[in-house]
Structure 1
Amino acid sequence: MRVTIIETGLVSPKNRELHGSYPQMFERMIGAADATVTFDTVSLPEGEALPDTDRLEAILVTGSAAGVYDDVEWIAPLEQFVRTAHAAGVPMVGVCFGHQLIAQALGGVVRKSEKGWGLGRHVYEVAPGNGVIDGTQIAIACSHQDQVITPPDGAMTILSSDFTPYAGLLYSSGRTLSVQPHPEFSVGFALACCEMARSKGDAPDRVVTSAQASLAEPLESARLGGAITQFLTRSA
C-alpha cells in the first residue's frame, strides 16, 4: 500500500530538525502500525502540483498554520481534489487543517472558534460502534483555533468533546475520515506548539501553562494512529 501525503504546512527549520516535517511525523506514525506501507509526498506550500486521484491508493492531508478560509492559491484546487477522491472512494484521512479542509470541501462550515486555542492533551469521547476507533474515550494532543462548526450532511461524528464537538468525522462514503487532534505529534512537538501559540501573543499564558501541564499525562497517539493506518490500508 502506498499513501500519498498532501503536505499543507511547513514546520519551522528549528522544529523540523528536532521533530521532523509533518510528512515525516505521519510516516513514523503509520510505519509503527504497518511497516509495509510506502509513501509519496506532495508539498503544496512548496508549489508542487496535486496528482490525479485515479492513480492514488490512499491519501492523507496534513495540518497547517493556514486557515481553510484563507486566500491561499492552492486551497480551492485541494478542495476539488478532495471532492474527486471522495466521490471515487479513494481512502482518505485529514488531520487538523486536513480535517477542516475535508469538512469544508464536502459542504461543512469551518471558522475560528470563540473558545480560543485548543492546546495540549485533550480527551475525546468515542462514539460507540463507529467501526474505526475502539473504546469510549481517547487522549490525543491538539493545537488549533479553527473548528468544524457544522459537519457536512451525512457525516457521522465519531470523536467529540465539550471544547471540540466535531473532533472526528466519518463521511457518508465510509472511505473518508478526518480528525481534529494530532496523533502524529510527539510530546516534544506538542510542547513546542504550546510555545509557538504563546509567542504569537494570542494564546493566554494560563491556557499555555495548563496545556503544557496536561502533556505530562499519557497520550494514546498509537491507538488513533493505528486506527488511521488500518482505515487507509484495509482495502489493500
Structure 2
Amino acid sequence: MKNICIIKTGSTFKTMQADLNDFEDWITDKLSTARSRVFTVHVEVGEELPDLSLCDGVIVTGSHSMVTDEEQWSKKTASWLADTVDRQIPLLAICYGHQLLAKAMGGVSGYHNDGMEIGTVEIQTTPHAHEDALFRDFPESFMGHTIHSQTVMTLPEGAVRLAFNGHDSNHAFRIGERAWGVQFHPEFDEVIMNAYIEEVAQEKSWSRERITALQKETRKTAEATALLKRFEALICE
C-alpha cells in the first residue's frame, strides 16, 4: 500500500468551501487510493512538513499566496521540495506548487507580463511530452482549467518543457525523472472553474458580459483531469 502526501499551500475562498470543499478534497476525489492512505499537511498555517520516508508520492496544491512574497513557510517548503526531487520521490506540483518547484530548483517565478490567465483554455504539448512518463499519452492539444497571475518565467536548468499555450510558455515541465510541475488545475471541474470566475469577477468588478463570456468557454477537461490518476499509477509502479 502506498501513501500519498498532499502539501496544502493554501485554501480556496471561504464562500466556496461551504459547498465545494477545498483543494485537497478535489485532488483526493479524483484518486483511486483509499482516503486512509492520503494525508494532508497544511504548511500555510504552520503544520510541519513530513518526513519524506512517510511519502511514496507527493502532490502540492495551489494557493492564493504569491511565490514572490517569500513567506517563511513557503521557503521551507521549497527546500523540502528540492529534497523530494533529489530522493526521486514522485512529485506533482500544481499552480503555486508548480511555480514554487521551479524556484526551488533554480528557476524564476513571478508575475506574468500579460496579467491573469483564467478560465478553460487550450494547451499544447511539446515533442518532449511524447517521451515523458506522465504526458506521453496526451494529445498535441488539450483543455485545462486555469487561474493564475504568477508564472514560471524561467525553467530550472535541465528541466524539460512539456506544455505551453499562447499565454504561458511553461504550462508543464519535468525536473529530474519523477518530478512534474503543471500550471493548469487537473483537480478542477466545471463547477469549481465557474465558481472561481464568479469570485474573481466580484473582486475585480468585472461586467456580467465578461463573466458570461468566460463561463461559456468552461467545459470538461478529460485529459487534464486524468493527469492525477496517471500520476497515481506512477507512484504505484
Q: Please indicate, yes or no, whether the TM-score normalized by the shorter chain is above 0.5.
A: yes
- Note if 1:155 corresponds to 2:156: no
More helix by share: 2
Q: Relative to structure 2, which stretch is displaced further, 218-227 or 69-78?
A: 218-227
Distance 2:20 2:67 in 1: 25
Structure 2 match to 1:102:
101
Distance 1:27 1:212 in 2: 25
- Whichever residue aligns with residue 24 of structure 1, its letter is D
What CA deviation, in whole Å up to 9, does each residue of 1:59-106 have, x standing for no partner? 111000001111422011001101111111111110000100101100
Structure 1 match to 2:169:
165
- Note if 1:90 corresponds to 2:89: yes
Distance 1:189 1:101 in 2: 23
Question: Taking structure 1 as reference, are residues 56 and 121 closer, same or farther at Cα in structure 2, changes over 3 Å only?
Answer: same
Report how many residues are paired: 230
- Note if 1:13 corresponds to 2:14: yes
Residues 79 and 102, structure 1, Cα contact 8 Å, conserved in 2: yes
Deviation, structure 1 residue 159:
1.1
Question: Taking structure 1 as reference, are residues 90 and 163 closer, same or farther at Cα in structure 2, changes over 3 Å only?
Answer: same
Deviation, structure 1 residue 198:
1.5
Match of 2:45, SS?
coil
Mark the runs of 5 or more structure 2 residues left unpaired by the alignment: none
Structure 2 match to 1:211:
214
Residues 145 and 186, structure 2, Cα contact 8 Å, conserved in 1: yes
Q: Which of 159, 165, 181 is residue 178 of structure 1 equivalent to? A: 181
Residues 21-170 of structure 1: pairs in structure 2 closer than 5 A = 21-31=22-32, 38-128=37-127, 129-131=130-132, 132-133=134-135, 134=137, 135-170=139-174
Question: Taking structure 1 as reference, are residues 114 and 209 closer, same or farther at Cα in structure 2, changes over 3 Å only?
Answer: farther
What CA deviation, in whole Å up to 9, does each residue of 1:122-150 have, x standing for no partner? 11112232322222111111111111110
- Whichever residue aligns with residue 153 of structure 1, its letter is E
Residues 118 and 146, structure 2, Cα contact 8 Å, conserved in 1: yes
How high is the sequence identity, in percent, across the aligned residues? Answer: 23
Question: Taking structure 1 as reference, are residues 174 and 37 closer, same or farther at Cα in structure 2, changes over 3 Å only?
Answer: farther
Distance 2:209 2:150 in 1: 19
Distance 1:36 1:194 in 2: 29
Mark the runs of 5 or more structure 1 residues left unpaired by the alignment: none
Deviation, structure 1 residue 199:
2.0
RMSD: 2.0
Structure 1 match to 2:193:
190
Residues 94 and 177, structure 1, Cα contact 8 Å, conserved in 2: yes
Distance 1:112 1:207 in 2: 23
Deviation, structure 1 residue 162:
1.1
Residues 117 and 203, structure 1, Cα contact 8 Å, conserved in 2: no
- Whichever residue aligns with residue 157 of structure 1, its letter is R
